[in-house]
């Protein structure tokens, strides 16, 4: 797949998948990348492989998506779709309209350069505005390659990946289909963990990245996981993240429960979160520094089991991300600032 995911067009790269539709392991990807530095042996033109066009691919995929939705009937539902000028710009409107919804589509004029530009799941502002202007029941935002989904309720309030995961996992649990626990990431809001715990649902955290969520799901033979960004894995329905399929699973939960999106998202109380980026000039294991270890332990003691601390080096920038979650936003800000100052001093 050629994709920049949720990023601008100039970040396009090549993404490889395994034969069963899942992402490759890190070591295999590194091995593929290493071949780029090796001399390339070319073959004669008549020995090249063949490219085959599947003329009805879109129709097949539309039917597949609808088939995951358990006879979902969306008649009477007015929905706004933001397709991020990307992969879902034709498919998503077809899926939701064929299921009976009244569909208003934005972000559906791709020109090769405007993908993810001030639209889609990374920029939901226009979706919020359109939902309110059109008096829609809800809005759905995808990213450029269609594997992320976020929603907006009828009041214009954003429903992120943690909240959507809570909805589909709780629905599966209530129907006896969960078959285990739920996997989030280090960045998943503590409110998700606490809300699932209240329902007796086990929760585990993976490293950031949907491939690592999939890894933990596979290790535990569980079915549901996701990220705050909107990557949802519903392995009962698909082998990888799919924004359209994930959105349909949320709508099935709304239908079966008779509870609207606004009411559902209020059932998971998000913890206030403060994130401070500390610039670093050199590589080091942040959590090995004694001053940082002491500061983190002291902060965690203050929070007890009603808060969370995370220090994570950025994978793309020379930064250490200092994150604190707690019930009181003022306390969250204070503790994050104190911890960031310790980290900054240690990295100086």
Q: What is the pLDDT of residue 286?
A: 78
Q: What is the pLDDT of residue 51?
A: 85
Based on the domain organization, do 235 and 177 belong to the same domain? yes
| 300 within some domain | yes
Q: What is the pLDDT of residue 218?
A: 95
| 138 within some domain | no
| 323 within some domain | yes
347: number of Cβ within 10 Å: 17
Q: What is the pLDDT of residue 306?
A: 83
Count structural domains, the chain. Answer: 2
Based on the domain organization, do 171 and 234 belong to the same domain? yes
Based on the domain organization, do 237 and 278 belong to the same domain? no
Residues annotated as part of the active site = 5
Q: What is the pLDDT of residue 282?
A: 66
pTM above 0.85, yes or no: yes
Tokens of 114: 């405007």
Closest CA to 87 of 63, 66, 64, 61: 61
Angle at 82 between CA 77 and CA 88, to 5 degrees: 100
Based on the domain organization, do 165 and 239 belong to the same domain? yes
Buried b / exposed e along 93-123 (16+ C-beta atoms within 10 A):
bbbbeebebbbbbbbbebeeebbbbebbbbb
Based on the domain organization, do 235 and 301 belong to the same domain? no
| 212 within some domain | yes
Q: What is the pLDDT of residue 184?
A: 98
| 151 within some domain | no
| 227 within some domain | yes
Q: What is the pLDDT of residue 229?
A: 93
CATH code: domain of residue 321: 3.30.310.50
pLDDT for 20-70, tens place per residue? 878 888 899 889 989 888 888 888 888 888 888 999 999 999 999 999 998
Based on the domain organization, do 239 and 277 belong to the same domain? no
Based on the domain organization, do 176 and 237 belong to the same domain? yes
Closest CA to 245 of 230, 227, 228: 230
pLDDT for 166-215, tens place per residue? 999 999 999 999 999 999 999 999 999 999 999 999 999 999 888 899 99
CATH code: domain of residue 206: 3.40.120.10
Q: What is the pLDDT of residue 37?
A: 86
| 308 within some domain | yes
Please give the residue range of the domain that contains residue 212: 161-243
Averaged pLDDT in 10-residue chunks for the chain of 348 residues? 86 86 86 88 86 92 95 97 98 98 98 96 97 99 96 98 98 96 95 96 94 95 96 92 97 97 95 92 78 94 90 80 94 96 90
């Amino acid at each position: 797949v050629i994709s920049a995911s949720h990023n601008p067009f100039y970040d396009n790269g090549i993404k490889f998948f395994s034969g069963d539709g899942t992402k490759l392991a890190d070591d295999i990807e590194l091995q593929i990348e290493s071949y780029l530095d090796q001399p390339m042996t070319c073959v004669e033109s008549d020995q090249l492989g063949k490219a085959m066009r599947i003329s009805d691919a879109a129709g097949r995929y539309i039917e597949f998506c609808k088939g995951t939705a358990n006879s979902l009937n969306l008649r009477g539902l007015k929905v706004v779709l933001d397709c991020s000028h990307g992969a879902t710009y034709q498919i998503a409107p077809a899926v939701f309209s064929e299921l009976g919804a009244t569909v208003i589509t934005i972000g559906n004029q791709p020109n090769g350069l405007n993908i993810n530009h001030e639209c889609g799941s990374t920029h939901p502002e226009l979706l919020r505005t359109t939902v309110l202007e059109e008096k829609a029941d809800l809005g759905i935002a995808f990213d450029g390659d269609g594997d992320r989904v976020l929603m907006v309720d009828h009041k214009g309030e954003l429903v992120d990946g943690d909240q959507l995961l809570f909805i589909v996992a709780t629905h599966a649990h209530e129907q006896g289909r969960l078959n285990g626990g739920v996997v989030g990431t280090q960045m998943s809001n503590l409110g998700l963990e606490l809300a699932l715990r209240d329902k007796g649902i086990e929760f585990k955290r993976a490293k950031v990245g949907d491939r690592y969520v999939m890894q933990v799901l596979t290790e535990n033979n569980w079915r549901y996981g996701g990220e705050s960004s909107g990557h949802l894995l519903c392995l009962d329905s698909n082998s990888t993240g799919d924004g359209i399929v994930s959105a349909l699973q949320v709508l099935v939960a709304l239908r079966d429960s008779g509870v609207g999106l606004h009411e559902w998202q209020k059932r998971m109380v998000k913890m206030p979160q403060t994130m401070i980026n500390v610039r670093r000039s050199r590589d080091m294991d942040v959590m090995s520094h004694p001053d940082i270890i002491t500061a983190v332990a002291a902060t965690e003691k203050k929070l007890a089991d009603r808060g969370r601390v995370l220090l994570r080096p950025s994978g793309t920038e020379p930064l250490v991300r200092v994150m604190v979650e707690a019930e009181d936003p003022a306390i969250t800000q204070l503790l994050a600032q104190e911890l960031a100052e310790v980290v900054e001093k240690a990295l100086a």
